[in-house]
Amino acid sequence: MSKSLVVSFPEKCIGCELCVMEVQRQLNKIGLNGSPIRVFRNGTKFTVKVDITDSNIDLSKIREVCPTQVFTIQESVLDGLVE
Amino acid sequence: MDLLSNKPHIESISDTSLNVLVIDLARRSFERKTFSELHPYVGGIGTGAKLFSIYKTYDPLIFSIGPLNGFFPYASKTSIVLQHNNILEDLYLGGALSFKLQFLGVNSVVFLGQSVHPLAIEITQEDVKFYPASIDLNSLGLPGKSSYLNLGRQGVTLDNYFTAPEGYLEKKFSEKNLRSLVFTGNKVYTITRPEKYYELYKTLLDKAPEVTVTPSLNPSCSGCPLGCADSRVGEIGGALLTHTLVACNFARNIYSDIGTVFSCLDVLGYRYTHEELENVSYKISTLIRELNTSLQK
């Protein structure tokens, strides 16, 4: 069973980028470049893109660091390709 | 003995000098410089005031971050130093600009003189490009990695939302014929000793109740989870130690504590002593007083 981080409530994002810092810290990095989570700003609106492929990333820590609970973690039994 | 005790926790931070990008608007040229004499002033208002003393004949407009921006929560502002009516003013802008400057690998960006024609400037780690003000800003920068500071009908806005107080920045942009600045930060720092850094980061993040704002759902500054309404218009003046870092003035209960500041700097590899940190506010206020005296002559 695999877990994935899902942007379930994008309208709640306030653009603090704590999720970006958390995922980068787990990769022992500080910075925006190469982050598996990206936050795009336009005035008061934000778009969050997630592309986490590293199974060692602790998704619950990312979900918890978000002050407005933008993310949920979904479990799936489908690993890989299906017919 | 801990053999790692003298090694930095974060790679590629210089403990002895600060990186400054100096942009000459009249000549449309730029230079990256390193200043060891800025080190005692730590960052933010400190380095901004010292750079002002170096470049004061060129009417400098100076953007500075501090050593904690991008690394610790609530260190979320960018310091702006300029002269207005022969008085040195220090403004603080919220939003994501401090992250972009930290990830540009510069401590300060200094704009000298004025341009003949209205300008848009794109700043990256590799280059500084000058464009006519009419350029489509959407063609500059990188999505998610750039901040846009733009002079428009609503004054100077950062990312179409954050502004600086009092209109001083608008006036300076107009005087210098600046219309837009696009900052793109691509630099990544490697954490070499994560445990202590993580622990301190988490401790500070958990101090959110000590920040004197009401948590809300407004666009937040980078590195701050509070989404307060107060950050939109930025700040003017305030606690000097907090503003050397350059932390939010509403977080001064956290960053006015010398022990906390010392621990944060130590984890990043800075070797300031307690005494140096205790004296930095006096050092900066003396410098500002001298600068104001010389500006009024």
Q: In this predicted model, what pLDDT tens digit does every residue of B51-65 receive, in sequence order?
A: 999 999 999 999 999
Contact call for B217 and A42, based on CB within 8 A: no
Here the CATH number for the domain that contains residue A25 is 3.30.70
> Which one of B98, B224, B226, B230 makes the best mutation probe of the A interface by having the most chain A beta carbons within 10 Å?
B224
Instruction: Please tell me if residue A56 touches chain B, with a CB cutoff of 8 Å.
Output: no
Nearest to B233 by CA among B155, B280, B146, B163: B163
Q: Is A18 on the interface with B (CB under 8 A)?
A: yes
Instruction: Name the helix (H) or strand (E) containing B88.
Output: strand B87-93
Instruction: Judge whether A32 is closer than 8 Å to chain B, CB to CB.
Output: yes
What is the residue range of A57's domain? Answer: 2-74
Asked whether the CA dihedral B207, B213, B215, B221 is positive or negative, the reply is negative
Region B1-297: CATH code: 3.60.9.10
pLDDT (average), residues A52-69 = 94
pLDDT at residue B244 greater than cutoff 70:
yes
Cis upstream peptide for B246 (omega within 30°): yes
In this structure, of B2-11, B84-93, B264-273, the range with the lowest mean pLDDT score is B2-11
Question: Cβ separation of B226 and A67 shorter than 8 Å?
Answer: yes
CB B75 within 8 A of CB B247: yes
B181: left (phi over 0), alpha (psi -120 to 50) or beta: beta
Cβ–Cβ contact A14 with B under 8 A: yes
- Give the model's confidence band at B17: pLDDT under 50 very low, under 70 low, under 90 confident, else very high: confident
Provide the percentage of residues in chain B whose pLDDT is more than 70. Answer: 95
Is residue B137 within 8 A of residue B195, CB to CB? The reply is no
A29 Cβ under 8 Å from any chain B Cβ: yes
Tell me the chain B residues in contact with residue A13 when contact means C-beta distances shorter than 8 Å: none
Q: Do A43 and B219 touch (CB under 8 A)?
A: yes
What's the angle, vertex CA B202, arms to CA A42 and CA B237, rounded to 5? 60
Examine the pLDDT at B271 and tell me if it is beyond 60.
Answer: yes
Quick check: B281 pLDDT over 60? yes
pLDDT recorded at residue A51: 94
Q: What are phi and psi of A6, to 5 degrees?
A: -120, 135
What is the β-pairing status of strands B155-158 and B87-93?
Answer: unpaired
3-class secondary-structure state, position A40 = strand
Find the DSSP H helices in chain B: 45-55, 97-102, 168-176, 194-205, 240-244, 252-255, 258-268, 274-295
CB B74 within 8 A of CB B230: no
Nearest CA in chain B to A49: B144
A38 Cβ under 8 Å from any chain B Cβ? yes
Give long-range contacts, CB 8 A cutoff, 24+ apart: B284-290.
B284/B41, B284/B45, B284/B46, B284/B49, B284/B240, B284/B244, B285/B240, B287/B41, B287/B49, B287/B50, B287/B53, B288/B49, B288/B88, B290/B53
Residue A82 lies in a domain: no
Residues of chain A neighbouring B185 (CB-CB closer than 8 A): 31-33
Q: Which of B145, B217, B225 sits opposite A32 (nearest CB)?
A: B145
In chain A, residues with a C-beta closer than 8 Å to the C-beta of B160 are: 42-43
Query: Is residue A7 a part of any domain in this protein?
Result: yes
B224 CB neighbours in chain A (<8 A) are: 16
Rounded Cα distance, B184 and B166, in Å = 27
Q: Which residue of chain B has the CA closest to A37?
A: B144
| Of the partner residues A29, A38, A44, the one whose CB lies closest to the CB of residue B188 | A29
d(CA B89, CA B93): 13
| The pLDDT value given to residue A79 | 58
> B136 pLDDT exceeds 90?
yes
Interval A17-42: pLDDT, tens: 999 999 999 999 999 999 999 999 87
Q: Does A76 touch chain B (CB under 8 A)?
A: no
Beta pairing partners, A3: A75
The predicted model gives B97-107 an average pLDDT of: 96
Instruction: Summarize the confidence of residues B102-128 as an average pLDDT.
Output: 96
Q: Which residues of A touch B217 (CB under 8 A)?
A: 12, 14, 68
List, in sequence order, every residue forming a beta bridge with B78; answer none if it has no partner. Answer: B93
In angstroms, the CA A11 to CA B19 distance is 38
For residue A26, the chain B residue with the least C-alpha distance is B194
Instruction: Give the confidence band of B2 by pLDDT, cuts at 50, 70, 90.
Output: very low
Please tell me whether residue B287 adopts helix, strand or coil conformation. helix
Q: In total, how many domains does chain A have?
A: 1
Q: What is the CA angle B143-B146-B152, rounded to 5?
A: 105
Do B219 and A14 make contact, defined as CB atoms within 8 angstroms?
yes
CB pairs under 8 A between A and B: 95
pLDDT confidence of residue B1: 38
Say yes or no for a CB contact (<8 Å) between A16 and B224.
Answer: yes
